[in-house]
Structure formats: C-alpha cells, structure tokens
Chains A and B, each alone.
Chain A
Amino acid sequence: MLVWVLLELVSAAQVPAGHGSLLGSWLRAAGAPVRLGVEGAVLAVRDLAGGVSDFRRIVAEHRRMRLDLERCRAREAALRAEVGMLRSALPLATATRDGMRRIVVVSCRYRDLSRGILEVAGGLRDGLRPDQPVLTGDGVLGRLWRVGASTSWVEVLTGPSAAVAVQTVDGSVHGLAEGDGSGRLRIRYVPRTAQLLVGSRLVTSGADGLYPRGAAVGRVASVRERGGAFLDVEAVPAVDVERVETAVVLTGWRGGESG
C-alpha cells in the first residue's frame, strides 16, 4: 500500500506545471491503468473482428481456388484424352486427301454389339453423312449407317451385316472381312493358293469404295482349308469395340478415292 502511495506521489510530481492540480493528476494517475485496460480491450476486439473477417475471406478464396483447380484438372484430363485420340488418328487422317481439316470427333453414347450398332453424338449439323468411315486410333470401327440431326448410328465391322474389303499389308492377299455378331471377323474369298499366315495384319484395300486404303482392320487368328475354292479365315478386329468411347469420322472422305 505504502509503495503504491509513493508511486502515485512520484507520478503526480512529474506532472508539468499548468496541467491541472495535483489532485487531478493523482486521479488521472489512479485511472490510467483502467483507461489503458479499456483501450487495450477495444483494440483487441477490433483486431479480433478484423482477423475473423480476414479469415472468412481467406477461406472463401481458398474454396474458390480449389474449385478452379478441380475445373482445370478436369479440363486438362479431357484435353489430354482428346489430344491422345487425335494423335493416334493423325496418320489415318493425313492419309486421306483432305487431311485433319475434314474429320469430326464423336463420342459413343450407346451400343448394342449383338446387332453391331453403336450410337454416337454428332449428326447432320456436324457434317456427318451416311456411309462415311468411322475410325479409332487402332483402326476401322465401321461406317455411319443412319445419321440424324444430332445423333448417328454406326454399323461396326463386327456386326452381322457389316463387310469391308481387306488385304494383307504387302497387298499379296485380298478378301472380304465380314462380321458375324460374335466379335470376330470372317475373311471370305481368300483363294486356297494364298500364302496367309496366322498373325498377319489385315488392312483396308479400298476396293469397296467405302473405306480409305491402308487402315488397320485386324489380325489373322486362324486359317483352315475347306473343300471349296477358298480358305476359311478368321480374324481378330484391330478395334476393341467393347471399349470404344470416342471415334473419328472422316467427313472429307469420298468413296472411290483410294487414298
């Protein structure tokens, strides 16, 4: 208590002349801690409120940036897929006379492989027309069968009524690949004298006037001799029809041009 009174006296004595009475100085000195405490509390509350406001703004910003990041990642994945597909289709597209300017990328919406049909997004508005060849990076998928305004149906090569003229890569053996609905291709009209080995690659010959020449069709899986004039040849298609999600339609291709 005595120390406190002494401190108060010392403080009051430091008040310069003309700044009020000694009693007033004492009262101010006694109230100073309270005033400082209140001022400190007000400042603390104001800082706290500012901090909370800043925190909320940062959280909102963080959320927005995360959303932007997710959107960018999704877009990157989609672009990567598209670039991959276009890159794999590039050799085929450049092989045609019109090149990359005349292709349309379509995505598969529905397929019924027992009947050999596949619905794709894209139609007359996109420049699609019946009988245009449909390819994937692996090879020929089929041809456009029915084209609507915004959706089209593709007849896949493995379908029961599909056919494509094929040849070996060196062009020594020719035939007609037909689908049978089972997921395989039957190669008709291969002469008995033909030198055809299991594993040989088959490509389009262009003789049918529907498909450009040189696109992969499949690989020979079995060769059997039968009584007739032709060999019984079976092939595995180059395109895994079950997994097709996107394909390329050669809208610039006109039947009869052989690449």
Chain B
Amino acid sequence: MTAALLVLVTLTGQRILGLPGLPAWATDLWLPLVWLVWPPLRNDRAWPFWALVLLGLGWDVVTEPVIGPGGIAWSGAGLALGWLARRVADRSPVAWAGAGAVAAAGVLLLRRLTLLPLGLAGPWMWIPVLRVLLLGSAWCGLVGVVQRLDVAGAIGRMRRRRLR
C-alpha cells in the first residue's frame, strides 16, 4: 500500500516536472526510475512482473501520448535490472547510481523497440538520451546515499532515546 502511494507520488512529481514554465530538461529526470532500482538493490529482488507493468502503464498514462509501450519497457528494464542485481554484490551509492543509468538505458531502448512497429519512433537524439541517463543516475545515486544514511532509522533511535 505504501509502495503504491509512493509510486503515485513520483508519477505526480513527474507530471509536475512537465508543467509549462519549468526548464525543458526537467522532464528528462525520470522520478519513477527509482522503483526499478530500489527493490533489487535494497531487497535483492525486483518487483513482480505485474507490478512493473502497472508502473509502466502509469508512466504512459501520465506522460505519454500512447498507452502500452511503457508497460513493456518498464517491466522489461525492471526484470533485467533484477537479474543484474543478483549478479553484482555492490550495494553502495555508486552502485545505485550505476543501476539508475542502466535502468534508464533499458527503458529508453525497450520503449524505442516497442515504438518501432507502431511507426512512432523518431530519430535518435543523443543529447536528450545522455541527459536522461545522467539525471537518472544522479537521482538513483542520491536515493542510494539517503538510504545509506538511514535517516528513518536514526529518527527512530532518537525517539526511543527520548522515550527512555
């Protein structure tokens, strides 16, 4: 339930990033990317396939003119990242950043493949692609740093000390 709520929050945030007036590059920061990275790196297993498909469809509803390809792209990238995370032991913030870039690349590639048969895949533009990879990596790296700091645990310990 909490996860679903947090996914909704990130999708809403993604929508806000595309509002007129904000910088054009803001939409290249994919906030829901963290839901592909968090489960395998934190809990050593990706979300189930259906949950990843729902995440992708949510992405489509919020940001895409065509609904469907996102479900394939996001679930595929999530499963690939889950497979990769089982083979890499590193769970440092650097690994989180790397996983963010891999997830973004996976989504970009798979979405392009799914759009090709529909005739909707435009020319490949490298600058926006690099921006998505860089921002995705930075965003997931930041989340990795925050979870390494264990802010929630520190607050809990502080509360327990006060109660004593």
Give chain A's interface residues, CB within 8 Å of chain B. 108-117, 119, 145-146, 153, 159-161, 180-183, 241-245
Contacts and interface: CB of A to CB of B under 8 A. Distances in A.
A110 B15 contact: yes
A109 B21 CA distance: 11
B39 to A, nearest CB: 26
A243 B20 contact: yes
Nearest to B24: A113
Nearest to B122: A161
A159 B128 contact: no
Given A108-B20, A110-B18, A115-B122, A182 B63 contact: no
Given A110-B19, A160-B125, A181-B127, A145 B65 contact: yes
Interface string B23-34: 111011000000
B66 A146 contact: yes
A211 B164 CA distance: 74
A192 to B, nearest CB: 25
A181 B123 CA distance: 9
Nearest to A145: B65
B122 A242 contact: no
A182 B127 contact: yes
Interface residues of B, number: 20
B123 A242 contact: no
Given A159-B122, A243-B21, A244-B20, A114 B28 contact: yes
A153 B127 contact: no
B142 to A, nearest CB: 21
B131 to A, nearest CB: 7
15 contacts: A108-B20, A111-B18, A111-B20, A112-B18, A114-B27, A115-B122, A116-B122, A119-B18, A146-B66, A181-B127, A182-B125, A183-B24, A242-B24, A243-B21, A244-B20
